Structure formats: C-alpha cells, structure tokens
A and B are shown apart, each in its own frame.
Chain A
Amino acid sequence: MNRNEDINVVLVGNPNTGKTSLLNALTGMSLHVGNWPGKTVEKKAGNITYKNTKFTIVDLPGTYSITPYSEEEKVSHDYLMNQIHDVIVQTIDVNALERNLLMTMELLALGKKIILAFNFNLEAQRRGIRIDVPEIHEVLQIPIVVIEANKGENKEELLDEILRVAQEEFEVPSYLKEMLKENNEIHHDKSIEFFKEKLKPYYLIEKTIQRTERIDGIILNKYTAFPIFFAVIFLMFQVTFTLSGPMISAIRYIFDLMGVGIGFLKLPGLLTSFLSEELIGGLGSVLSFTPLIFLLFLMIALLEDSGYLGRTVILVDPFFEKLGITGRTFIPMILGFGCNVPVIMATRTIKDRRERMIAILTNSFISCGARLPVYLLFAGLFFSKYAGYIVMFLYITGILIAFIASLILSKLLKNQTQNSLIIELPPYRKPSVKNILKHAWYHTKEFIKKAGTIIFCSVLVVWVLASLPAGVDYGSAESLLGHLGYLISSLFIPLGFGHWTFSVALIFGIASKEIIVGTLGTLYGVGQDALISDIPMHITPLGALSFMFFVLLYIPCMATIAMIRQESGSWKYTVFQPLATIVVAWIVSFFVYHMGHLFGFN
C-alpha cells in the first residue's frame, strides 16, 4: 500500500477542556513545546503515524473565542486563516457544551472541516447531565467522537475519524447562515437561541447543586479561604525549594569536582581555566537550574490542573487591583523568591499581555534565593544581632519596589479595554500525574535549550574578561575585568562601596548571583572564613548595607535576562529592564547610605 498523504491537524478548544491531555495522548513523546515565531504564546506540536499516514498535530492556545483580540486569539485566528491544515479537532468539555459550542460556530463560520472531541463524559454523568450524542450529531451535522482524554480512551476512533473527514468534502451546515453577521462573524445570541431550540432536548441537566460549588464553599469561605491559601503556598514553597536544594548542591558539587579534576591534567594554564571555568562552570550553572525549574513547573501544573489557581487569583485580587493589575500576578510574583528565571516562563498563566509584561519586568525585584548568601555574609558580619531584621527588611523592600514598579508600569502601559478581572473558575478535577510530569519536563527541556546558550555565552564573556591579558591571575586586579572594576568603581563611591573588588563582584553577579560571595573570596585571595576579616578593611557597615540593597535591586542574572527576551518577545524590554534596575538600585542605595549618615551611622 502506498503511503498516504500527510494530514495536518489543528487542535483547538476552550481552556480546561482537556486539550493538552488529548495532545499528550495522541502524540506521545514526539511533542515539542516552544513559542510561536515572533510571539510570546506557547506553541505545542507533535506527530504520530497511524495506518500509514503521518499526522502532524499543532496545538493552538486554549481560548474561548477566535475573534482576534488577545494575543492568543490572534495566534489562533492567524493560524486558522493562513496556515495549511486539513482538519480542526475541537475539544469540548461536555459539562459546558453550550458555552463550548459558541466557539464551534465561529470555527464553522471560517468554513473549515471540524471534528468535535467530546471530553469529560464520565464527569458529566456523575454531575447528572444526560447527553444524547447521536441526536446532537444529527442536529449539528458535525462528526463527534466521544473521548476520555486523560485516559487516552478512543484515540484510535478519533484518528479514524480524522482520516475519513480529511478525504471528504466539507459542507457548511445550513443552520449557520442565520447566525452570521454581515462580516461573517457569529451572532452569539443566535447561537444560544439555536442551542435552546434544537439541542436542549438532548442535553439535560438534572442536578443543580454541584460538587465544585460545594468545594468552593470551603475554599472561598470567609473563614477558611486564607488558612487554606497560606497552607497551599507554604507547601508549594517547601516542595519546590526544599526538595530542589540538595539536588542543586549535588549537581554543583559534581561539576566542582570535575573542575578540580581538570587541574590534574597539567594542561596549559589558559586551557585549564577555560575548561574548568567556562565549559564545566557554564554547564554546571545551566544544569543546576533544572531541578528547581522542574519542581516549580510541577507545582504550577498541579495548581492549574486542579482548578485551584483561578481561586488564588480572586482571593488576592483586591490587593492587586490597587496596583492597576489583577490577582493573576500573585503566584508568579511569590515564586520569584525562589528563582526569577522559571517564573518569567510561568507568567504564561497570565493571559493579559499588558499584565504579563508588568509581571515579567518587575519580578527581578523579588529577592531570589541566590542573593541570600550575600545578605547573610554582610548582615552577619556587620549587624550580627540585627542580621535577621536586616535580611527581612531587604526582602520587604524588594516586594515594595516590585509593587511600586508595577504601579508605575500599569500607568505607562495602557490597554484599549477596561482593566478588570474576568476569569472562569474551572471545576475542581483530579490532575493526571502523567500530564503534570510531562508539562514539567517539556518546560525544563525548553529552558535548557533557550537559556542554556545565553548562560553559556555570558559565562564565556566573564571568563575572557577575567583571564586576559594572558598570564594574569583569574579575575585579579590586572585582568581586564579588574581594570573594568576600577573604571566603574567610582560610580559606587557615593554609595559607600567604592573599592574595586565590589565592582568586580557585581560584574560577576550579572552572570549569576551565586558567585558574588565566592568572587570576593577569590579577589582577596582568601577562603570564606578569612573573608570575614578582610571585608571590613574595604567597606563600612553603612556601605555594606548600601551594597546589600544594590545587590537586591540591580541587574538580574543573565538567565533571567535571557528569559525576559524570550517571554517578552521584545528587545526594547530586554534592554530597558536591566538599565532601569541599575538606576533604581543606585537611587535606593544612595538614599540608604545618605539617610544612614544623616542619622549618624557610618
């Protein structure tokens, strides 16, 4: 038998209709996740060979409509209008059939072949909804396949149907004519009328009080909502950052050992330092992110798929409303305490582009875990008894600055629509372990691919600067980096840390914040312990305080900048963010240093 022609399938559907599960079930491990070219919207695609035919399956973003208003709807609309595809498969949550069919009518109006994949049928049964699929098929005149996406049930039937439909001619159902406006868009109220008249008899809802509403009675109750909320957030933090800690240390340790191992090979000095600092160091810092990113995406997927994420949004919304944004910003924002890098990817849960950009640009003010060692060293050294308060104060300052920045940006970035909160609260559902693991894995892979190169390059630049001219000690005063440190150190004299070593440490800190303390150690030619006696020779306690504020607020690490580039899709923002943070850091440190003087500290 000849190989049939390839079939291009587009997967569309409302959010929370099991579209991703279906995609996972259909494409298995061939699935790859990325961004739409030039867009900041996630693209997933995969393929499968079935009955000698290659199916390419492209997943469009989950949207409620294809009228091109939001960025995601634009992606969907443009794809459906301009790209070649044979069949559209729309996942339908039969629990909300009437709402889901609104989009079906929009798709039909485009004149495209479409198959409906009826999902969550078992849940509908439990919820007391009786659906007569053959009759509905009769009325709609569109092929319907009943699936259970989480379990991968009936996926062969769906593929068979796709094969069949792909070879058939398409005829627009006659009922559609009455729903069309002059510009070929759908009159939604006509679509609803159609459902009421023609389909209602075959779609009966027997129970009124639903499980989800009962659970909401606890989750959103005045008295229990916030205790549950804080418990969930706490647990999420514990899992993400406590579990990833040892794994990250282990990875770092292995790479450190490899670096030391290189030393025994007796290679020429420059080569040794290239291999150990650049190659192994760079690889190590990319890979050391992976446990964190994996766990973080695991937790976010869990929150999203269980239905709880939407509830957190409305719990914290009143507060964010005052900043000109919505509660959707909250989860990404607090995860920044662990690490800003994955958070910037995780802002994909914020569906409004303007709000998402604000979240992306302000997240680096949230003090990530990598900055903590700097605080611990300096606060411990100069403010022993009050170190804890100082660190807490730094964290709070970070949050405040992030809020102020959000407020300013929300005034600068205008929307053409009313800024408000409109959000569906999906039914509570048991997440599928397989889907969550896959979700986390794909995003980790994506991170390694995207951020990997940029981290690698930034480590390379630092290595070159620290190693040249040939023969100097790595990162010493005589190296290019040392000279650069001298050059910019005068900028920091008004801030109280004008010694060149701090400038060099800050430059290293752009590659990654973890190495700031280590760099100071190297520069003074001493280990961690002797640092304690050396640092006070170069900086006053007030200067140290100002330095901590600077580290809190200045340029994010290269990995974060790389993600800002990828997720904002804009070079303007990618350049603006680091520059703006430097200015903010300088002003705040200046203020801290001089206020300190005024109050008689030094």
Chain B
Amino acid sequence: MITTLNLISTEEAAIIQEITTDHVTKERLESLGLISGVDIVFVRKSPFGTTRIYKCLNTLVALRNDIAEKIRVEVPDESK
C-alpha cells in the first residue's frame, strides 16, 4: 500500500518511495538518511502531535507533519 509518512501507524514499518519537497529540503532529509529505498518506522508522536519521531538507519529523526506528508512510503502487506 502506498501512503505518506505522516499516515503510517506506530511501530509500523514502511519503505521510503519518493520525497516531494523542494530540492534543498530533500537534500537535508537524504543526508539524515531519509532516502528512497530505506526502511523507516514511526516511533511516536510529540505530546501535541505536531511532530512525529521516526527511526531510520538506526537513528531517530523528528519531522513536522508538513514534511512527513511530502514523503511517500510503501507499507508492505502483511495480511497474507
């Protein structure tokens, strides 16, 4: 299933597909390890829910939701 990073649920693993931010922001995200093909897990929300913390390449990265919604991810189907 293809969705955006802000929509995956806690402890759910996904694979980054595409980053649709502006170029400079994309470079920044990539240097932090948010690169297409990389596994990413949603760890927790901040208390007010405006930022989300993700784990990727064994590091924790916090993103505001407006960035997370510009990162397309694939959540592998586990049903079968």
Residues of A within 8 A of B (CB): 63-65, 67, 69, 95-99, 102-103, 129, 188-189, 192-193, 205, 212-213, 216-217, 220-222, 225-226, 310, 313-315, 317-318, 321, 416-418, 420-427
Contact = CB atoms under 8 A, between A and B. Distances in A.
Contacts of B58: 95-99, 129, 205
Contacts of A315: 46-47
Most buried by B among A188, A193, A426: A188
Contacts of B3: none
B7 interface: no
B9 interface: no
Interface string B37-73: 1100001101110110101011111111011000000
B79 to A, nearest CB: 22
30 contacts: A65-B30, A69-B24, A95-B58, A98-B33, A98-B57, A129-B58, A188-B30, A212-B60, A216-B44, A216-B53, A217-B44, A220-B44, A220-B46, A220-B47, A221-B47, A222-B47, A318-B46, A318-B51, A321-B50, A416-B24, A417-B22, A420-B63, A422-B29, A422-B61, A422-B63, A423-B62, A424-B32, A424-B60, A424-B61, A425-B61
A102 B33 CA distance: 8
A425 B32 contact: no
B10 to A, nearest CB: 12
Given A102-B31, A425-B60, A425-B61, A418 B22 contact: yes
A420 B44 contact: no
Contacts of A103: 31
A417 B59 contact: no
Given A192-B38, A213-B60, A417-B22, 19 more contacts: A67-B31, A97-B58, A98-B58, A99-B32, A103-B31, A216-B53, A220-B46, A225-B47, A226-B47, A314-B51, A317-B46, A318-B48, A416-B22, A417-B28, A418-B22, A421-B67, A422-B25, A422-B64, A422-B67
A220 B64 CA distance: 15
A98 B53 CA distance: 19
A418 B70 CA distance: 11
B61 to A, nearest CB: 5
A221 to B, nearest CB: 7
Most buried by B among A220, A314, A317, A416: A314
Contacts of B31: 63-65, 67, 102-103, 188
Contacts of A95: 58-59
A67 B24 CA distance: 10
Contact of B43 (A63, A69, A96, A213): A213
B27 interface: yes
Contacts of A423: 61-62
A420 B64 contact: yes
Given A64-B32, A96-B57, A193-B37, A314 B62 contact: yes
Nearest to A213: B43
A63 B28 CA distance: 10
A64 B28 CA distance: 8
Contacts of B36: 189
Contacts of B14: none
Contact of A424 (B21, B35, B59, B67): B59
Contacts of A213: 43, 55, 60
A421 B62 contact: yes
Contacts of A102: 30-31, 33
A99 B57 contact: yes
A192 B37 contact: yes
